[in-house]
Amino acid sequence: MSTQVASTPHGALGLSDDDLLSMYRTVITARLLDEAALRQNRMGRAPFVVPAEGHEACQVGTAWAMRRGVDVWLPYYRDGAVVLTAGMTPYEVFLGIFAKADDPSSGGRQMPSHWGHRELGIITGSSPIATQVPHAAGIAYAVRYRGEDAVVASWFGDGATSEGDWHEGLNFAGIHRLPVIFVCENNQYAISVPQSKQMAIENVADRAPGYGFPGVVVDGNDVLACYAAMKQAHERARAGDGPTLIECKTYRFLGHTSDDDDKTYRSRDEVEQARDRDPVHVFGEYLRANGVLDDVGAEELRAAVKGEIDEALSAAWEASDPEPASAMRHVFAEPGDPEGGSR
Amino acid sequence: MSTQVASTPHGALGLSDDDLLSMYRTVITARLLDEAALRQNRMGRAPFVVPAEGHEACQVGTAWAMRRGVDVWLPYYRDGAVVLTAGMTPYEVFLGIFAKADDPSSGGRQMPSHWGHRELGIITGSSPIATQVPHAAGIAYAVRYRGEDAVVASWFGDGATSEGDWHEGLNFAGIHRLPVIFVCENNQYAISVPQSKQMAIENVADRAPGYGFPGVVVDGNDVLACYAAMKQAHERARAGDGPTLIECKTYRFLGHTSDDDDKTYRSRDEVEQARDRDPVHVFGEYLRANGVLDDVGAEELRAAVKGEIDEALSAAWEASDPEPASAMRHVFAEPGDPEGGSR
Amino acid sequence: MTEKNVVTAIRDALHDEMADDDRIVLLGEDVGNRGGVFRISAGWMDEFGEARVIDTPLAESGLVGVAIGMALHGMLPVAEIQFADFIHPAFDQIVSEAARIRYRSNGSFGVPLVIRAPCGGGIHGALYHSQSIEAFFAHVPGIKVVMPATPADAAGLLRASIADPDPVLFLEHKKTYRAITGDVPEERHLVPIGKADVKREGSDLTCVSYGYALHACLDAAARLQQDEGISVEVVDVRTLAPLDTGTILDSVRRTSKAIVVYEDNRTYGAGAEIVSTIAEEAMFDLDAPVVRIGGPDVPAMPFAAPLEHYFMEPEPDQIYRRMLDLARA
Amino acid sequence: MTEKNVVTAIRDALHDEMADDDRIVLLGEDVGNRGGVFRISAGWMDEFGEARVIDTPLAESGLVGVAIGMALHGMLPVAEIQFADFIHPAFDQIVSEAARIRYRSNGSFGVPLVIRAPCGGGIHGALYHSQSIEAFFAHVPGIKVVMPATPADAAGLLRASIADPDPVLFLEHKKTYRAITGDVPEERHLVPIGKADVKREGSDLTCVSYGYALHACLDAAARLQQDEGISVEVVDVRTLAPLDTGTILDSVRRTSKAIVVYEDNRTYGAGAEIVSTIAEEAMFDLDAPVVRIGGPDVPAMPFAAPLEHYFMEPEPDQIYRRMLDLARA
Ligand SMILES: Cc1ncc(C[n+]2csc(CCOP(=O)(O)OP(=O)(O)O)c2C)c(N)n1
Ligand SMILES: Cc1ncc(C[n+]2csc(CCOP(=O)(O)OP(=O)(O)O)c2C)c(N)n1
Ligand SMILES: [Mg+2]
Ligand SMILES: [Mg+2]
**Gap between the Cα atoms of D239 and D168, Å rounded:** 10
Per-residue pLDDT at A324: 97
Indicate whether B80 pLDDT > 50. Answer: yes
In the structure, ligand 4 is a single-atom ion and the residues with CB under 5 Å from it are B 157-158, 187, 189
Report how far apart, in Å, the C-alpha atoms of C164 and of each of A146, B37, C73, C144 are: 55, 40, 16, 10
Q: Measure the CA angle with vertex B49, ends B46 and B53; round to 5°.
A: 135
Q: What mean pLDDT is predicted for residues C270-293?
A: 97
Nearest Cα of chain C lies from the Cα of D253 at a distance, in angstroms, of: 14
Q: What mean pLDDT is predicted for residues D58-62?
A: 98
Angle B17-42/B90-97 helices, nearest 10 degrees?
20
- The letter for the amino acid at C139 is H
The mean pLDDT of chain D is: 97
Catalytic residue among B31, B144, B236, B256: B256
Atom of ligand 2 nearest to the CA of B191: 11
Indicate whether A63 pLDDT > 60. Answer: yes
Q: What are the residues whose beta carbons fall under 8 Å from the beta carbon of C210, sequence distance 6 or more?
A: C147, C149, C236, C237, C238, C240, C262
Per-residue pLDDT at B3: 43
Confidence of residue B6 (pLDDT cuts 50, 70, 90): low
Interface probe for A, chosen from D58, D63, D106, D243 (most Cβ of A below 10 Å), is D106
**CA neighbor of B279 nearest in space, from B30, B87, B64, B74:** B30
The string of pLDDT tens digits covering residues D149-170 is 999 999 999 999 999 999 999 9
Q: What mean pLDDT is predicted for residues A132-158?
A: 98
**Gap between the Cα atoms of B333 and B339, Å rounded:** 9
Are B227 and B19 spatial neighbours (Cβ–Cβ below 8 Å)? no
State if residue B191 touches ligand 2 by the CB under 6 angstroms criterion: yes
Per-residue pLDDT at B5: 46
Q: Do B198 and D35 touch (CB under 8 A)?
A: no
- The letter for the amino acid at D152 is A
Confidence of residue C315 (pLDDT cuts 50, 70, 90): confident
Closest residue to C300, CB basis, from D100, D271, D291: D100
Per-residue pLDDT at A1: 37
C307 in contact with chain A, both atoms CB, cutoff 8 A: yes
**pLDDT: is D115 or C312 the higher one?**
D115
Closest residue to C65, CB basis, from B124, B169, B338: B169
Per-residue pLDDT at A219: 98
Per-residue pLDDT at A6: 64
Indicate whether B24 pLDDT > 90. Answer: yes
The string of pLDDT tens digits covering residues D80-109 is 999 999 999 999 999 999 999 999 999 999
Q: What mean pLDDT is predicted for residues C93-104?
A: 98
> Distance, CA A161 to ligand 3 centroid (Å)?
10
Q: Quote the strand ranges of chain C, DSSP E.
A: 2-5, 24-28, 53-55, 76-80, 114-119, 144-146, 168-173, 181-184, 197-200, 205-209, 232-236, 239-241, 258-265, 291-295
DSSP C6-68: HHHHHHHHHHHHHHH-TTEEEEETT-STT--TT-TTTTHHHHH-TTTEEEPPS-HHHHHHHHH
Indicate whether B249 pLDDT > 70. Answer: yes
State the number of CA atoms in the 13 A half-sphere of D185 facing the CB.
10
State if residue D56 touches ligand 2 by the CB under 6 angstroms criterion: no
**Gap between the Cα atoms of B325 and B305, Å rounded:** 37
Interface probe for D, chosen from B49, B100, B264 (most Cβ of D below 10 Å), is B264
**Gap between the Cα atoms of C98 and C66, Å rounded:** 11
Per-residue pLDDT at B338: 76
Per-residue pLDDT at A342: 54
In the structure, ligand 3 is a single-atom ion and the residues with CB under 5 Å from it are A 157-159, 187, 189
Per-residue pLDDT at A5: 46
Strands C114-119 and B193-194: unpaired
**ipTM of predicted assembly, 2 dp:** 0.98
**CA neighbor of A68 nearest in space, from A192, A11, A169, A151:** A151
Are B55 and B274 spatial neighbours (Cβ–Cβ below 8 Å)? no
Which residues make beta-bridge pairs with B193? B190
SS3 assignment, position B308:
helix
Burial B36-71 (b: 16+ CB within 10 A, else e): bbbebbeeeebbbbbbbbbbbbbbbbbbbbbeeeeb
Q: What are the residues whose beta carbons fall under 8 Å from the beta carbon of A228, sequence distance 6 or more?
A: A13, A218
Spatial strand order in the sheet of B152-157: B72-74, B152-157, B180-186, B244-249, B215-219
pTM of the model: 0.98
Interface probe for C, chosen from B165, B211, B328, B342 (most Cβ of C below 10 Å), is B165
Closest residue to A340, CB basis, from D65, D71, D89: D71
Q: What mean pLDDT is predicted for residues A273-300?
A: 97
Catalytic residue among D73, D88, D124, D129: D129
Indicate whether B343 pLDDT > 60. Answer: no
Indicate whether C92 pLDDT > 60. Answer: yes
Closest residue to D303, CB basis, from B110, B159, B162: B110
Rounded to 5 degrees, φ, ψ at D240 are -75, -40
Q: Which of A77, A79, A191 to mutate to test the pocket of ligand 1 (most atoms within 8 A of CB)?
A: A191
**CA neighbor of C98 nearest in space, from C167, C160, C37, C158:** C167
Which residues make beta-bridge pairs with B194? B189
State the number of CA atoms in the 13 A half-sphere of A88 facing the CB.
32
Q: What mean pLDDT is predicted for residues B31-57?
A: 98
**Gap between the Cα atoms of D234 and B240, Å rounded:** 65
Catalytic residue among B114, B189, B252, B286: B252
- Burial of B146 from C-beta contacts in 10 A (0-12 / 13-18 / 19+): middle
Report how far apart, in Å, the C-alpha atoms of D180 and of each of A342, D168, D215 are: 41, 23, 9
Q: Which of residues 125 through 154 in chain D touch B, CB cutoff 8 A?
A: 125-129
Percent of chain B with pLDDT over 70: 97
Task: Calculate the CA A54 to chain-centre distance.
Answer: 12
- Segment holding B245, helix H or strand E: strand B244-249
Residues with C-beta less than 6 Å from any ligand 1 atom? A 78, 127-129, 156-160, 185, 187, 189-191, 252, 256; C 29, 58, 60, 82, 86, 89
Q: Do A341 and D110 touch (CB under 8 A)?
A: yes
Confidence of residue B339 (pLDDT cuts 50, 70, 90): confident
Q: Do C102 and B333 touch (CB under 8 A)?
A: yes
**CA neighbor of D40 nearest in space, from D118, D121, D115, D94:** D118
**Gap between the Cα atoms of C101 and B333, Å rounded:** 11
Are A315 and A97 spatial neighbours (Cβ–Cβ below 8 Å)? no
Other beta carbons less than 10 A from residue A191's beta carbon: 20
Q: Which of residues 18 through 47 in chain B touch C, CB cutoff 8 A?
A: none
Nearest Cα of chain A lies from the Cα of C192 at a distance, in angstroms, of: 34
Other beta carbons less than 10 A from residue B272's beta carbon: 10
Angle A132-145/D60-71 helices, nearest 10 degrees?
50
Q: What mean pLDDT is predicted for residues B135-164?
A: 98
**pLDDT: is A338 or C131 the higher one?**
C131
Q: What mean pLDDT is predicted for residues C139-159?
A: 98
**Gap between the Cα atoms of D23 and D4, Å rounded:** 27
Please name the chains neighbouring D, where neighbouring means 3+ C-beta pairs under 8 angstroms: A, B, C
Q: Do C69 and B138 touch (CB under 8 A)?
A: yes
